[in-house]
Amino acid sequence: MRRKPAPEPQGDGGTPSLPGMGPSARLPIEAGASEPSAHIESDTSRKFSPSKLDTYKDCPRRYRFRYVDGLRRRVETAETLVGSSVHKALEGLYAGIIHGRELSLDEALAVFDQAWTAGWSDAVVNRHKEYGPQHHQSAGRDCVRNYFSAYAPFKQDATLAVEKRLGFSLKADGEDFRIEGLVDRLARVAPGVYEVHDYKTTANLPGQASLDEDWQLAIYDIAVRENWPDAREVALVWHFVRFGQTMRSMRTAPQREQLLGDIAGLIVRIKHDHRFLPRRSVLCGWCEYRDICPIWKPVPSDGGMLAKEYAVQESKRRGLREKMHDLEIQFRQLEDDIVKYAIEHDVGRLSCSEGDVFITQKEDYHVPTRTHAPEFYAALEDRLRETPLWKQAAHIDLHRLLQGYDSGEWDAAGAKLVEEIVSDCAHIKRITKAVVRFHLKKEEEPE
């Protein structure tokens, strides 16, 4: 079907503004529109791992550096070295069990120590200067001990594989993709009952709710079912070995369906991203690309002067805002006093030499809003839909439509629909405009 050309924009207000179009900007851009940052080729990958997808969700620019530009910069920290060494020890343990030989605790600790010693060097980043390498090594050994305390002699299940590559195929945007990653350990507890095990050496223990929403391990649930058709139950098991605690979660069939849709939507989003905008967050503190990231890389001195001027003006503006706020409170109080007086004395006007204050009374409607009273709002909408007034009194919510698109809320089919609608009915004009925000510098932020 031939598409109707979209109407030409009529100056600034001619086309609907497209809220939230910043982050992904997958939709077609009007030819000749200026680009605030360099346009780069989109990602051509056909294979995605859970951590690769997670990198994009956390920060598209970091994703671009690592997976599109191919800049591999592994930063080893004391914590990551503890993690990989504990993994080596537990991998050795279960690899031995598969082959009929169980490692003793001392042997598993020796595997840990060997991995630790081989990995430790002056290049390893130790963020907690108060602790030397022995402290971290000892914390890692405790993780292995905790695991042995909880599970030796390891008869709870039958280990099928360790460090196993597992995956499945997925269609997104009409193309085939492969989702694949490494599982720490895969076990069978009973016929048709499987467990996906993941070792965590983090110093934080998450809540059950966050594990019930975790999608990284849930991906392997789908992969196990695809590879072992007898799987009727797949449990996701996390071992927080610093705490000696095991946590579990399971996914229902509708949740797995939803997850597949979310992954397809995310892949569509990545494939159409030509900008990979940086997303500042606490993760920047651990990012290996800070020195080349547009947000953190060193700026020429004239840029610094502009920032200085901005800081001065911003602090003046904040001062004025605070004064305005105080003034507003006094003003509201005075208004209340005037209204009370007018009602008490039954007058509609107060006068002085500077002018008149008129007091009018009116009634206002309080209607439910989608944000503050969603149930009442839905009932109101249903009621209105039944009436001929619907066409006149309702309006389309473009902001919501595009916000859902940008945030990846719509599934792959929904995202495609938005693209078609925008391509048919709108022009997107990208305007070079910086959104400036000022933050007081904190000590941990780099110069």
Nearest residue to 42 (alpha-carbon basis) of 21, 20, 59, 24 = 24
Q: Which is nearer to ligand SF4, 205 or 292 (CB)?
A: 292
Q: What is the DSSP letter of 440?
A: P
Beta bridge partners of 179: 48, 168
Could you tell me which residues come within 8 angstroms of residue 277 by beta carbon, excluding any fewer than 6 positions away? 22, 23, 37, 60, 61
Q: Which is nearer to ligand SF4, 18 or 59 (CB)?
A: 59
- C-beta of 279: minimal distance to ligand SF4 in Å? 6
Task: Assess 268 for contact with ligand SF4 (CB under 6 A).
Answer: no
Distance CA 414, CA 16 (A): 20
Task: Assess 270 for contact with ligand SF4 (CB under 6 A).
Answer: no
Stretch that binds ligand SF4, among 58-66, 104-112, 176-184, 332-340 (CB under 6 A): 58-66
Give whole-number Cα distances, 364 to 361, 367, 375, 434, in Å: 10, 10, 21, 39
- By rule CB under 6 A, what string of x and - marks binding of each residue 226-265 to ligand SF4? ----------------------------------------
Distance CA 231, CA 163 (A): 20
Q: Which is nearer to ligand SF4, 25 or 287 (CB)?
A: 287
**Count of residues making up the chain:** 447
Distance CA 397, CA 372 (A): 17
Task: Assess 280 for contact with ligand SF4 (CB under 6 A).
Answer: yes
- By rule CB under 6 A, what string of x and - marks binding of each residue 393-432 to ligand SF4? ----------------------------------------
Q: Which is nearer to ligand SF4, 167 or 278 (CB)?
A: 278
Strand pairing category for 193-200 and 175-190: antiparallel
Strand pairing category for 233-240 and 245-250: antiparallel
Tell which positions 60-79 bind ligand SF4, by CB under 6 A: 61-62
Q: Which is nearer to ligand SF4, 196 or 270 (CB)?
A: 270
Distance CA 405, CA 399 (A): 10
> Which residue in the set 57, 145, 272, 279 belongs to the binding site for ligand SF4 (CB under 6 A)?
279
> Are residues 259 and 222 in contact, defined by beta-carbon separation less than 8 angstroms?
yes
> Which residue in the set 170, 182, 211, 293 belongs to the binding site for ligand SF4 (CB under 6 A)?
293
Task: Assess 278 for contact with ligand SF4 (CB under 6 A).
Answer: yes
Nearest residue to 185 (alpha-carbon basis) of 197, 194, 177, 171 = 197
Stretch that binds ligand SF4, among 79-87, 176-184, 218-226, 289-297 (CB under 6 A): 289-297
What interhelical angle do 398-406 and 412-425 show, nearest 10? Answer: 130
Phi, psi of 151 (to 5 degrees): -120, -15
Helical ranges in 360-431 per DSSP H: 374-385, 390-393, 398-406, 412-425
> How many residues in the shown chain lie near ligand SF4 by CB under 6 A?
14
- C-beta of 56: minimal distance to ligand SF4 in Å? 11
Stretch that binds ligand SF4, among 55-63, 162-170, 233-241, 435-443 (CB under 6 A): 55-63
> Which residue in the set 108, 162, 287, 402 belongs to the binding site for ligand SF4 (CB under 6 A)?
287
Task: Assess 289 for contact with ligand SF4 (CB under 6 A).
Answer: yes
Distance CA 125, CA 141 (A): 19
> Which residue in the set 118, 158, 205, 283 belongs to the binding site for ligand SF4 (CB under 6 A)?
283
Stretch that binds ligand SF4, among 113-121, 203-211, 291-299, 340-348 (CB under 6 A): 291-299
> Which residue in the set 290, 416, 429, 430 belongs to the binding site for ligand SF4 (CB under 6 A)?
290
- C-beta of 62: minimal distance to ligand SF4 in Å? 4
Tell which positions 295-314 bind ligand SF4, by CB under 6 A: 295-296
Structure-token pair, residue 391: 């066409």
Token match 């290996």: residue? 288
Q: Which is nearer to ligand SF4, 287 or 342 (CB)?
A: 287
- C-beta of 436: minimal distance to ligand SF4 in Å? 16
Q: What is the DSSP letter of 67?
A: I
3-state secondary structure of 387: coil
Stretch that binds ligand SF4, among 6-14, 171-179, 272-280, 394-402 (CB under 6 A): 272-280
Stretch that binds ligand SF4, among 182-190, 285-293, 322-330, 431-439 (CB under 6 A): 285-293
Query: What stretches of 63-218 adopt beta strand conformation (E)?
Result: 158-172, 175-190, 193-200
Distance CA 265, CA 197 (A): 27
295: number of Cβ within 10 Å: 13
Give residues in contact with ligand SF4 (CB under 6 A).
59, 61-62, 278-280, 283-284, 287, 289-290, 293, 295-296
